[in-house]
Amino acid sequence: MSQPIVALSHICKSFHDGEGEHQVIKDLSIALNQGDTVALTGASGSGKSTLLNIIAGFEHPTAGSLKLLGQETSDWQDKQWSEFRHQQLGVVFQQFNLLTPLNVRDNIRFALQLNKLNWDDWCDHLVDNLGLRPLLTRDVEALSGGQQQRVAIARALAHKPALLLADEPTGNLDHSASLEVMSLLTSLAKQQQTCVLMVTHSEVCANYMQSRWHLESGHINQDTQVSSAQTAMQDTVAATQAPTHTSTQTDSQVATQPESSEAV
């Protein structure tokens, strides 16, 4: 059996404010494997985004161990975190974190350049299914919130990461666009064995995932039962095969970008 993509062991996370210490995550031990799709639910302020940030290395746990692809991360330096984020991780942020000097095409292409990959059929598939083709030459700062969210999703998926962390990826989308995004995520997980951990408040979106983790009082309650609605959705997705990503190398040089853009 292959090693887990993510393995958290006895993770704790505390914050301090004027009223003292608040423990958001308490002695959490979970694992995510290739192809797993998980909806992470919970009340606002329950620590869902904090958990995603810990896995991505944007925040460090107060205690406990985090392994990514079998590697202990406690002694990772910036170089190791950057390599993991560029090559293995896709992140969809609530605030999008797009590169505003660039247009839509170049924002999506940036994730490819970091890995010396060419634009291919998979990228065209993303662009078409997310309705972005008419917007490719538009500056991202001129787009609506929903359009920016779709660009952020395409950028996170362009290099077919081993792990996708998505924080409310459909929060600014209408119902139809939300279903398109969820179909893309489940298709990616099924065909490329990408592991998907998605924060959502949407019951419809949660039903697309294989399992659901509910974060409450610092602990996760796991519900791994796949609903009949989700099973039907998976069957529909399986009927539509997405193009396969090629890993052809290119001599394109990565444009100089702000340091904060590394987590694509």
Task: Grade residue 255 by pLDDT with cuts at 50, 70 and 90.
Answer: very low
pLDDT at 20: 85
Distances from the Cα of 95 to the Cαs of 45, 101, 149, 154, 201, in angstroms? 17, 16, 8, 15, 16
Per-residue model confidence as pLDDT tens digits over 51-108: 999 999 999 999 999 999 999 999 999 999 999 999 999 999 888 999 998 999 999 9
- Among 92, 41, 34, 35, which residue's Cα sits nearest to residue 234? 35
State what percent of residues in the chain have pLDDT above 90: 71
- 155-182 mean pLDDT: 93
Q: Are the CB atoms for 139 and 148 separated by under 8 Å? A: no
Structure token pair of residue 72: 């202990």
- Between 225 and 222, the higher pLDDT residue: 222
Domains with residue ranges and CATH for the chain: 34-58+75-262 (3.40.50.300)
pLDDT at 214: 96
The answer to whether residue 207 scores a pLDDT higher than 60 is yes
Per-residue model confidence as pLDDT tens digits over 227-245: 434 444 444 444 444 444 4
Per-residue model confidence as pLDDT tens digits over 101-114: 899 999 999 989 99
- 145-174 mean pLDDT: 94
